[in-house]
A and B are shown apart, each in its own frame.
Chain A
Amino acid sequence: MKNRKAPFEDRIFDLDECLPRERLAALQIDRLNRTLDRARHVPFYADRLKRVGAIKSLDDVKRLPLTTKLDLRGGYPLDFMAIRRDEIARIHGSSGTTGKMTFVPYSRRDMESWRNLCARFLSAGGLRPGHLVQICFGYGLFTGGFGLHYGVEHLGAAVIPAGAGNSERQLAILRDIKPDAVVCTPGYALNLAEILQAEGVDPSELNVKFGFFGSEPWTDEMRARIEDELGIFATDNYGLSEVIGPGVSGECPWRDGMHVSEDHFLVECIDPETLEPVAPGEKGELVITTLAKEGMPVIRYRTRDISSLDPEPCPCGRTGVRMSRVTGRSDDMMIIRGVNVYPTQIEEALLRIREAAPHYEVELTRPGALDVATVRVEMLPGMFSASMKEMVELRERIMSAISSVTGIRMEVELVAPQSLQRFLGKAKRVTDLRFKEEPKP
């Protein structure tokens, strides 16, 4: 499957993607030192980097302090900004509980780097100037939509900013406007494929040839299904808003891992417990240091994403190390339809309804192609009413509170008191049934 031949000639968008390793290392050290200088404008780093001198070898990196999501939250709103306020060109944000979002300022140069980084993986996945791309990601503070939007523009292709949701309209665009490529979450791509099938549309009526999928975990089986049902060549890409957004890494036509743009990001893979580096190819938590970011540089940021790094040369000629698809998280964050959600956000939503949050659990399933999150809430005395009207209202109030805090719609079931399982110690709030392994024959 991995070696399914790409239906196009590979085209390297930026020669920096092919820097010889030793040149790359020298560039990284140079840029790292400059990043450290920039980071010293941030009080948090100034303090932590006090005793750190110039970096001479990449081995020294592990002596640098790690940065966590909690650190970034503590710096709300813009304590991690390393440029002047009037140098900000754009501000994006990552999800988190209200008041605990992380906002990321971009300088004009950052915007330029970002569009270049996105154009790299778009080109590697087959996109060419003159192509038409349907972007089904949400625009706004979320980096997914804009990252790809400017990447496509930069590459010289045309954008249809379709935005997220409204499958019927997306389908009308696919059929009538005939884009060459589609950008969305893999789950959404499968969903579109299913609707196409249900409506009896033959994929040959479409013109879509390439798919760029990211923002949520997926599998090789899913890729095979998407490719068969939509008749496209699908590539994976990776990124996170704390670092830049999409564009940290992306697959080449060989599709054996995602090439990290190492001229912009220094990546390590560590054991989340011991914080020691794992052996090449071993799974661990991805740690990223930005090398060219001006607005908000991060040093050794713990992504919480579990992946592995493959340093073997790739036949495509790109020299960036390849990271495997993200297989899990080292915290309790859920990715639902491409949106990052923490269980604490659900708690916050429930607290808006009542002073004491009732017991609840979240179940994630994927009955069709799309994620469904069901929140079961135990009734507390005083919540129950004999009037169906009031019960329906209560359920709707909870649903709207959850959607206002997390930005996505979840199903809510009201269940009897004491009916949810209790755990000693830390409650297990989330049951993820989306990626249950099918029994092998």
Chain B
Amino acid sequence: MKIRQIAIFMENKPGHIMGICRILADAGISITTLSLADTQQYGILRLIVNQWEKAAETLEKAGYVVNITEVLAVEVEDKPGGLLQVLEIIRSGDINVEYMYAFTFRHGEKAVMVFRFNDPDKAIELLAKSRVKVLDGVALFKEMH
């Protein structure tokens, strides 16, 4: 159920994201979605890609510091209160959201969001109980194409 996210450390310098995208494109890897968190001095680029192992290896070879994290891709009703419903379930289990970002596509009538929870296993359990769908990597990749 968990999917692998690649996080890359970047100093805040022009052309940096471009460089990373080029490396991935040259290796034939496609980016499913991404989020960029920035601070004064550096940024953390988080990516969901179709082949995470290859992507990580390629980036590391190119000299980047890469970190692999497990996150959850959760289906959210694409209507007012949709996200709220998911958050309420999470809250009931005393789980914290470390961060989250959205997918660029819809899954049928649903939107998909990426979450990093402090306790992903418990989150999966709770979400499943409430019939909220957590997507795996294969499903996500199919969705894109």
Residue of B nearest to A389 (CB): B40
B37 at the interface (CB under 8 A from A): yes
A112 at the interface (CB under 8 A from B): no
**How distant is B14 from chain A, measured CB to nearest CB, in Å?**
15
CA distance A75 to B40 in the complex (A): 45
Residue of B nearest to A390 (CB): B40
**List of B residues within 8 angstroms of A392 by Cβ:** 39-40
Which residues 384-422 in A have Cβ within 8 Å of B in the complex? 387-389, 392-393
**List of A residues within 8 angstroms of B37 by Cβ:** 388
CA distance A387 to B43 in the complex (A): 12
B38 at the interface (CB under 8 A from A): yes
**How distant is B39 from chain A, measured CB to nearest CB, in Å?**
6
**List of B residues within 8 angstroms of A393 by Cβ:** 40
**List of A residues within 8 angstroms of B39 by Cβ:** 388-389, 392
Which residues 26-44 in B have Cβ within 8 Å of A in the complex? 37-40
CA distance A334 to B40 in the complex (A): 34
Residues 72-105 of chain B, each 1 if its beta carbon lies under 8 Å from chain A, else 0: 0000000000000000000000000000000000
**How distant is A393 from chain B, measured CB to nearest CB, in Å?**
7
CA distance A393 to B40 in the complex (A): 8
Which residues 374-390 in A have Cβ within 8 Å of B in the complex? 387-389
**How distant is A132 from chain B, measured CB to nearest CB, in Å?**
45
CA distance A127 to B18 in the complex (A): 69
CA distance A393 to B39 in the complex (A): 9
CA distance A389 to B38 in the complex (A): 7
CA distance A387 to B37 in the complex (A): 10
B: which residues have CB within 8 A of A? 37-40
Q: Would you mind naming 10 contact pairs between A and B with Cβ atoms under 8 Å apart?
A: A387-B38, A388-B37, A388-B38, A388-B39, A389-B38, A389-B39, A389-B40, A392-B39, A392-B40, A393-B40
A: which residues have CB within 8 A of B? 387-389, 392-393
Q: Given A387-B38, A388-B38, 8 more contacts at CB 8 Å?
A: A388-B37, A388-B39, A389-B38, A389-B39, A389-B40, A392-B39, A392-B40, A393-B40
